Amino acid sequence: MALIELKDVSKLYGFGDATSVALEEVNLNIEQGECVAVMGPSGSGKSTLMNVLGLLDHPTHGEYDLNGRRANHLYSAQRARIRRDKIGFIFQSFNLLPRLTSLENVALPLLYKGASLRKRTMRARDMLERVGLHDKSYFYPNQLSGGQTQCVAIARALVNDPEIIIADEPTGNLDSESSRLVMELLSEIHHGGNTVIFVTHNPELTRYATRVVYMKDGLVVHDEHKSLGVVAQYARKVLYGEPLSDEEEDIAGVSTLMKAHEHEHATRHVAAATKRRKSAKRKPAAKPKPAKTRKKATTSRRKANDGVS
Ligand code: ADP
Ligand code: MG
C-alpha cells in the first residue's frame, strides 16, 4: 500500500463554459520515503496537486487515499487534524506572520495543538537550531534574508514532526546559494525517512529527488524514477542542450522555466561545451548554432513565464 494513492483525481474550477480543468484524472502513487520533484509549466496544475495532496483542497472527482484511509470523504475537522499532525507545508512566499518573531512563528503550530509555553519554546528552539538559525530566534521576518525566512518556514513545517513535507516552489524566491541551502535541508529531512514532495522549475534541483513527475495541462505526462545526485533525464536534455524529439520537447516545456541566476554559469558552460562538440562534428561553420538558439528560446520563454506561477 502506497502512502499516497490518487485514483482518477480531477479538479475543476468554475462551471459551464468557464470551467477550467486544473487536474485531469491524475493517477499517482507515492511511497513512504520518496523525494518527488514536480515540474511543469505555469498553470499545469502543480499547486492544485500540492493542495489536494496536502488536504488543503478537495478533488472534484476521484479518490485520494492517504495512509490507506480515504481522505477525500473526511470531515473538515478530521482533515485539519491530519494536516496539522502529518503534513508540513512550505510555500514560495514563506507565509510567516510578520508580527511574530522567528521563535513565535515556529512555535505557532504547537499552540494550535495545545502545548504548554515551555514545551512550545523548547521545541521551537530545537527546530531553529536544526535549520541553523537559533541566533535569529528574536528576529522578525522583515529582519531576515529570503533564505533565512524560508529556513524559519521549514523549521515551522517540521515542528510537529510531520511524515510528509509538501513544498510548493520553496526556492522560487531565493538566490542560488539560498536555494541550495533550502534543498540541503529538505534533503536531510528526506534522509531522515520522511516523504518530501516539492515543486520546482529548476532542473538542477531534481538532483535531490528520487523521482520527477512532469505535469502539463492538468495531466501527469511523464513519471521518472531516478538516482539521487543526478539531474533528471528530461530536465538534463534541456540543460545540456541535447536534441529532443517533438514529444519530449512538448514535455520539456517544464524545464525551460529555470531561473536565470541559478543557471547562468551552468548554461554558459554547457552551451560552450555543446558548441565545441557540435563544431567538432560539423565541418562548415555556416550552419545555425542550435545551442545558442535553444538558450535564447529558453530565456524568452522563461521571461514570459516569470512571476506567473
Ligand atoms: P501551477 O501551480 O502549475 O502554476 P495551478 O495549480 O495554480 O498551476 O493552476 C492550474 C490551473 O487551475 C490554472 O489554469 C489556474 O488558472 C486554475 N486555477 C487554479 N486555482 C484556481 C482557482 N482558485 N479558481 C479558478 N481557477 C484556478
Ligand atoms: Mg503553482
Residue-wise pLDDT for 39-89, tens only, equals 999 999 999 999 999 999 999 999 999 999 999 888 999 999 999 999 999
| Alpha carbon of 309 to ligand 1 centroid (Å) | 9
Which atom of ligand 1 is nearest to 11's Cα?
12
| Alpha carbon of 89 to ligand 2 centroid (Å) | 14
Ligand nearest to the CA of 10: 1
Query: Does 250 score more than 90 pLDDT?
Result: no
Both 169 and 108 in one domain: the answer is yes
Q: Domain for residue 187, yes or no? A: yes
Q: Which residues contact 301 (CB under 8 A, 6 or more apart)?
A: 253, 256, 257
Atom 12 in ligand 1: residue holding the nearest Cα: 22
Give the binding-site residues of ligand 1, using a 6 Å CB cut-off. Answer: 13-14, 20, 22, 40, 42-48, 309
Q: Domain for residue 197, yes or no? A: yes
| Alpha carbon of 287 to ligand 2 centroid (Å) | 39
The mean pLDDT of 143-167, rounded to a whole number, is 95
What CATH number is associated with residue 181? 3.40.50.300
Both 226 and 293 in one domain: the answer is no
Ordered DSSP codes for 56-114: SS--SEEEEEETTEE-TTS-HHHHHHHHHHHEEEEETT----TTS-HHHHHHHHHHHTT
Q: How far apart are CA 216 and CA 56, in angstroms?
A: 21
Both 219 and 251 in one domain: the answer is no
Assign 37 a pLDDT band (cuts: 50, 70, 90).
very high
Mutation pick for ligand 1 pocket among 47, 91, 166, 201 (CB with most ligand atoms within 8 Å)? 47
Mutation pick for ligand 1 pocket among 11, 48, 168, 254 (CB with most ligand atoms within 8 Å)? 48
Q: Which residues surround ligand 2, an ion (CB under 5 A)?
A: 46-47, 309
Query: Does 268 score more than 60 pLDDT?
Result: no
Q: Domain for residue 238, yes or no? A: no
In this predicted model, what pLDDT tens digit does every residue of 115-153 receive, in sequence order? 999 999 999 999 999 999 999 999 999 999 999 999 999
CB 103 within 8 A of CB 137: yes
Q: Domain for residue 240, yes or no? A: no
* Cα dihedral sign, 90-80-82-219: negative
Both 224 and 98 in one domain: the answer is yes
For residue 137, give the amino acid letter. S
| Alpha carbon of 71 to ligand 1 centroid (Å) | 22
Atom 1 in ligand 1: residue holding the nearest Cα: 43
Both 121 and 200 in one domain: the answer is yes
Both 124 and 189 in one domain: the answer is yes
Domain boundary among 205, 231, 257: 231
Domain boundary among 180, 202, 231: 231
What pLDDT does 57 receive? 93
Q: Domain for residue 241, yes or no? A: no
Task: Say whether 221 sits in a helix, a strand or coil.
Answer: strand
Can you tell me which residue has the cell 521545541? Answer: 123
Both 170 and 274 in one domain: the answer is no
Q: Domain for residue 119, yes or no? A: yes
The mean pLDDT of 94-109, rounded to a whole number, is 96
Both 135 and 212 in one domain: the answer is yes
Q: Domain for residue 237, yes or no? A: no
Domain boundary among 231, 257, 277: 231
Both 164 and 284 in one domain: the answer is no
Task: Say whether 191 sits in a helix, a strand or coil.
Answer: helix
Q: How many domains does the chain have?
A: 2
**Which one is predicted more confidently, 270 or 80?**
80
Q: Domain for residue 162, yes or no? A: yes
The mean pLDDT of 92-115, rounded to a whole number, is 94
Both 138 and 254 in one domain: the answer is no
Both 32 and 179 in one domain: the answer is yes
Atom 15 in ligand 1: residue holding the nearest Cα: 43
Both 155 and 268 in one domain: the answer is no
The whole-model pTM stands at: 0.79
C-alpha cell, 267: 548554461
| Domain of residue 64, residue span | 4-13+21-231
